[in-house]
Amino acid sequence: MIVISCKIPEIEKILLKVFQKYAPEGTYCLPESEQAQQATTAACWFPDIEQLKQLPQLKVIHSIAAGIEHLDLNLIDPSYLVCRVIDEQHQKGMFEYLLWAVLYYQRQFDRAINQQKQQLWKQYRQFSSQDIQIGVMGLGHIGGYVATHFAQMGYQVSGWARSKKNLHRVQSFAGNEELDGFLAKSQILINLLPLTAQNHSILSAQVLKKLPEQACVINCGRGQHLVLPDLVAALDSGHLRGAVLDVFEREPLEQADPLWTHEKVLITPHVASHAPMSIVVEQILENDRRYKEHEPLNHQIDSARGY
């Protein structure tokens, strides 16, 4: 039995409809129902952890997304098994979004849009993929996929992670001691890190200033990775050319936020990529089956590391 857990009533209703559409009848319930007492897995988005603790059979906490920071691991007892969703369509969707964002700068579309506002006709040099240095922060399932696909297209690709990775045609950097070298090679910096206590606010002035002059930042990790006042200062000073931002610490972004009108910032409303909900339900049901049959779970995370 799957129990659907979300503290946001309108989202809980959406999740219930999703399970009604894709899951067999009688395999899911809400926390208030009698069936919840038999639930072994919780499908979660900002779950009510205290409520879940009251369910005696519950053993698996399952994110409905690739990220798990919304679960608040500090509140989850280590005895629970925590899993997330990993899907190839999600990886492909992220790469498509990032390819668009890279081309936005590579082909000078940011400058063309600004020129249109001024009714200015000016042509810029056309750069090929071989001319562009891309740096990917985070080389997990999505970051590794993105980095290798950019490399296959002929871009100069570097990647930075907690430990060294062996990815075809991707130069690997790891740890704090190699961060500066990675940043120096990142004309376009893509952040795909998971959110942990160690990398909260990692994109600060100290890091941004080590990027090459006129570098661009694309943030599809989490809003908490980026120190927005430091980004704006780097843009206003001319050190950074621009930023594409898909995630924010508070969502939706408040209407009064000055980022909306900053000429060097392009905003998208957390739409870079999502796994199809049919796949989400399928993976949660499969992991519930695996738990009951004492099989290893798919996409289980290390709660101590946070990913």
Known catalytic residues are 222, 270
What's the one-letter identity of residue 246?
Answer: D
DSSP state of 190: E
Closest CA to 179 of 157, 201, 210, 141: 210
Q: How far apart are CA 93 and CA 71, in angstroms?
A: 24
Tokens 């950019």 locate to: 150
Count of CB atoms situated within 10 Å of the CB of 83:
24
Tokens 């508070």 locate to: 250
Closest CA to 192 of 152, 150, 153: 150
Token digits of residue 27: 């395999």
Closest CA to 67 of 140, 169, 160: 140
